[in-house]
Structure 1
Amino acid sequence: MSEKARAFERAIESTARSPDSFSARDVLTTIATDLEAETGGRVDVSVPADLSIRSNRELFELAFANLIENGLTHNDAENPCVTVDLERTTDDRSAVFTVHDNGPGIPDHELAVLERGEETALEHGSGIGLWIVSWSVAALGGDLEFDTAAGGTSVTVRCSAVVEPESPAMA
């Protein structure tokens, strides 16, 4: 838990720098490869190669790494799987992603704590991962929406990042 907190602290400190331009698919594929090796689960990334985002790369990585990790490690399916899709880009040039797992779903009490925005001695989450996701996405100027059902959890992440078209030189 302390390692995750330090990673978040480093990412927040990086917000003082200018935003980076990066390929969302490259970042997500790297996260997927690392977590597949670590957990034995499968991660499918369906994001266009030409989706370039100008934002804080460290916060983006941290948010998605924690979402994907949670989807794999808190998963009781025989073959844990997480999918990451680009749902759409918006007129304000934000990117909307969906992260879906085939696990049991996030318990209601975990989501209630996030929605309330604070923990109490009697009502608290079991870890820091979802808090880091929430804080990272908020720091990126985005928002989160959770949908938990019997077939798993879907998390919609809107990143208020500038979505840049790929330049011809990069094609």
Structure 2
Amino acid sequence: MMTLHVNGWDHQVDAEPDTPLLYVLRDDLKLNAAKFGCGLGQCGSCTVIVDGKAVLSCVTPILLLRGKQVTTLEGLGDVANPAPIQRAFMEEQAAQCGYCIAGMMMRGQALLMRNPKPDDAEIRAELALHLCRCGTHMRILRAIHRASRLMDSAELSTTTGGAR
């Protein structure tokens, strides 16, 4: 039995220490945003955030996650109250098939956490490992820039008591 801290909650998990995080998220915790794509850490569909860094959950054994904070797309927000990155992807209509998008949003979120104002080259470099054939790449770039602006206005709103 092992404790994983996922989306702000502690979860007791009965799995072997070398079990990939992705399997625990999907099978045990029923968090299905991270997708199984290649199982080799080569497509990015399984990306989650661990202690502020984008991580490929299909190749990350749960043993390495003791005492770490794991965040999945479900932990950022929901339909009623989406996080800025989720809202931006919806507003830009950045998803087509939707399979790789959760991973891209998580990698975009991790980028914005360490660099709130990335340029196109930084975004492209961050997303380079994601395999996507849907053709919404320009919308994805716009969505990450929009999320940056949304995050900036949310911070402004909280620091000024809502006044702009």
Q: Which is strand-richer, 1 or 2? A: 1
TM-score (norm 2): 0.30
Q: Please, what TM-score do these two structures have when normalized by structure 1?
A: 0.29
